[in-house]
Structure 1
Amino acid sequence: MNTNMSPKWKLRKNLPSYRLVQTALPAQSLAYILTIIFFLSVLILLYVPWQQTTMGFGRVVAYAPLDRQQVIESPISGRVVKWHVHEGTRVKKGDPIIDISDNDPNFINRIREEKNALLQRLEAARSREDNIRSRILSLRSSMGSAVNAADSRRMMAKDRVRASEQAVDAAKAALKTANLNLDRQKQLWEKGLTSKRTLELAELDHTNAETGLDRAKAAYDAAVKEERALNSDTGKVQQDAEASINDAKASLASAQSEVARVLEDLPKLEARLSRQENQEIFAPRDGIIMRILVNPDTQQVKEGDGVAILVPDAEDKAVELFISGNDIPLVGEGRKVRLQFQGYPVLQISGWPETAVGTFGGVVKLVDITDNGSGNFRVLVVPDRDDRQWPSSRYLRQGVRAKGWIFLNRVSVGYELWRRFNDFPPNLPMDDPEMKSLLDENGGGDKGK
Structure 2
Amino acid sequence: MHNHEQASLNSALTDTLTNAQTKPIARRIARSLLTLLLILMIFLALTPWQQNVRGAGRVVAYSPAERQQLISAPVEGRVSRWLVREGSQVKQGQIIAELLDNDPLLLTRLNSEQEALLARQAAVESRVETFRTQLLMAEQARPQALSAAESRIEMAKQRRSAAAQNQDAAKAAKKTADLNLYRQEQLRGKGLASQRTLELAQLENAQRDAELQRAEAGLSASESEIAALQADFQKLGADTTSSIEKARAELNKAMEDQNYVQADLLKLQTRLARQETQTITAPQDGTVLRLLANPRAELVKAGQDVAIFVPDTHFRAVELWVDGNDLPLIVTGSHTRLQFEGYPAIQFGGWPEFSVGSFGGQVTLIDATDDGKGHFRVLISPDPSDLPWPDPRFLRQGVRVNGWVLLGQVTLGYELWRIFNGFPPLVLPEPASLSSKTKDDSKSVSADEKKSYD
CA contact (8 A) 1:361 1:388 kept: yes
Q: How many aligned positions are there?
A: 424
- Deviations along 1:351-389, whole A, 9 cap, x unmatched? 221111111111112211111222222111111111111
- Deviations along 1:212-258, whole A, 9 cap, x unmatched? 22221121111111110110001111211111121111111111111
Structure 1 residues 184 and 357: alpha-carbon distance in aligned structure 2, compared to 1, 3 A threshold: same
Aligned to 1:100: 99
Aligned to 1:447: none
Letter in 1 for 2:175: K
Partner Cα separation in structure 2 for residue 222 and residue 199 of structure 1: 35
Distance apart, 1:274 and its partner CA: 2.1
SS where residue 372 of structure 1 aligns?
A: coil
Structure 1 residues 186 and 361: alpha-carbon distance in aligned structure 2, compared to 1, 3 A threshold: same
Partner Cα separation in structure 2 for residue 340 and residue 430 of structure 1: 26
Aligned to 1:439: none
Aligned to 1:90: 89
- Deviations along 1:55-86, whole A, 9 cap, x unmatched? 11111111122221222211122112211111
Aligned to 1:353: 352
Structure 1 residues 83 and 25: alpha-carbon distance in aligned structure 2, compared to 1, 3 A threshold: farther
Distance apart, 1:33 and its partner CA: 6.0
Partner Cα separation in structure 1 for residue 21 and residue 420 of structure 2: 39
Aligned to 2:362: 363
SS where residue 113 of structure 2 aligns?
A: helix
- Deviations along 1:240-281, whole A, 9 cap, x unmatched? 111112111111111111111122222322222222222121
Aligned to 2:315: 316
Partner Cα separation in structure 2 for residue 99 and residue 20 of structure 1: 99
SS where residue 254 of structure 2 aligns?
A: helix
Letter in 2 for 1:196: Q
1:405 matched to 2:404? The reply is yes
Structure 1 residues 213 and 388: alpha-carbon distance in aligned structure 2, compared to 1, 3 A threshold: same
Structure 1 residues 220 and 343: alpha-carbon distance in aligned structure 2, compared to 1, 3 A threshold: same
Letter in 2 for 1:344: Y
Partner Cα separation in structure 2 for residue 276 and residue 424 of structure 1: 66
SS where residue 275 of structure 1 aligns?
A: helix
Aligned to 1:235: 234
Aligned to 1:381: 380
- Superposed CA RMSD in Å reads 2.9
Letter in 2 for 1:292: L
CA contact (8 A) 2:78 2:295 kept: no
CA contact (8 A) 1:321 1:404 kept: yes
Partner Cα separation in structure 1 for residue 147 and residue 196 of structure 2: 56
Partner Cα separation in structure 1 for residue 114 and residue 21 of structure 2: 107
Partner Cα separation in structure 2 for residue 11 and residue 262 of structure 1: 130
SS where residue 174 of structure 2 aligns?
A: helix
Structure 1 residues 143 and 393: alpha-carbon distance in aligned structure 2, compared to 1, 3 A threshold: same
Letter in 2 for 1:325: G
SS where residue 104 of structure 1 aligns?
A: coil
Structure 1 residues 39 and 296: alpha-carbon distance in aligned structure 2, compared to 1, 3 A threshold: farther
Structure 1 residues 431 and 308: alpha-carbon distance in aligned structure 2, compared to 1, 3 A threshold: closer
Overall identity of the aligned pairs, in %:
47
CA contact (8 A) 2:321 2:376 kept: yes
Partner Cα separation in structure 2 for residue 174 and residue 105 of structure 1: 104
Structure 1 residues 159 and 17: alpha-carbon distance in aligned structure 2, compared to 1, 3 A threshold: farther
Structure 1 residues 159 and 323: alpha-carbon distance in aligned structure 2, compared to 1, 3 A threshold: same
Structure 1 residues 202 and 68: alpha-carbon distance in aligned structure 2, compared to 1, 3 A threshold: same
CA contact (8 A) 2:58 2:401 kept: yes
1:216 matched to 2:215? The reply is yes
- Structure 2 residues not aligned, in runs of 5+: 1-8, 433-454
CA contact (8 A) 2:338 2:403 kept: yes
Structure 1 residues 421 and 111: alpha-carbon distance in aligned structure 2, compared to 1, 3 A threshold: farther
Distance apart, 1:298 and its partner CA: 2.7
SS where residue 350 of structure 1 aligns?
A: coil
Partner Cα separation in structure 1 for residue 215 and residue 295 of structure 2: 109
Structure 1 residues 431 and 110: alpha-carbon distance in aligned structure 2, compared to 1, 3 A threshold: closer
Letter in 2 for 1:272: R
CA contact (8 A) 1:178 1:206 kept: yes
Letter in 2 for 1:70: Q
TM-score for the superposition, normalised by structure 2: 0.85
Partner Cα separation in structure 2 for residue 339 and residue 328 of structure 1: 18
Distance apart, 1:15 and its partner CA: 12
Aligned to 1:437: none
CA contact (8 A) 2:329 2:407 kept: yes
1:55 matched to 2:54? The reply is yes
CA contact (8 A) 1:58 1:319 kept: yes
CA contact (8 A) 2:407 2:428 kept: no
Aligned to 1:127: 126
Aligned to 1:259: 258
Structure 1 residues 326 and 71: alpha-carbon distance in aligned structure 2, compared to 1, 3 A threshold: same
Distance apart, 1:424 and its partner CA: 4.2
Structure 1 residues 364 and 195: alpha-carbon distance in aligned structure 2, compared to 1, 3 A threshold: same
Partner Cα separation in structure 1 for residue 14 and residue 77 of structure 2: 100
Question: Which segment drifts farther, 261-270 or 312-321?
Answer: 261-270
Structure 1 residues 432 and 356: alpha-carbon distance in aligned structure 2, compared to 1, 3 A threshold: closer
Distance apart, 1:347 and its partner CA: 1.2
1:72 matched to 2:68? The reply is no
Aligned to 1:284: 283
Distance apart, 1:308 and its partner CA: 1.8
Structure 1 residues 190 and 82: alpha-carbon distance in aligned structure 2, compared to 1, 3 A threshold: same
CA contact (8 A) 1:12 1:19 kept: no
Partner Cα separation in structure 2 for residue 428 and residue 30 of structure 1: 45
Partner Cα separation in structure 1 for residue 231 and residue 20 of structure 2: 144
Partner Cα separation in structure 2 for residue 430 and residue 54 of structure 1: 16
Partner Cα separation in structure 1 for residue 41 and residue 73 of structure 2: 66
Partner Cα separation in structure 2 for residue 269 and residue 172 of structure 1: 85
Distance apart, 1:192 and its partner CA: 3.4
CA contact (8 A) 2:94 2:281 kept: yes
CA contact (8 A) 1:11 1:18 kept: no
- 1:432-447 counterparts in 2 under 5 A? none
Aligned to 1:179: 178
Aligned to 1:444: none
Structure 1 residues 124 and 371: alpha-carbon distance in aligned structure 2, compared to 1, 3 A threshold: same
Aligned structure 1 segments of 4 or more residues deviating by more than 4 angstroms: 10-44, 421-424, 430-433
Structure 1 residues 349 and 200: alpha-carbon distance in aligned structure 2, compared to 1, 3 A threshold: same
Structure 1 residues 294 and 430: alpha-carbon distance in aligned structure 2, compared to 1, 3 A threshold: closer
- Structure 1 residues not aligned, in runs of 5+: 1-9, 434-449
1:333 matched to 2:332? The reply is yes
- 1:39-50 counterparts in 2 under 5 A? 41-50=40-49
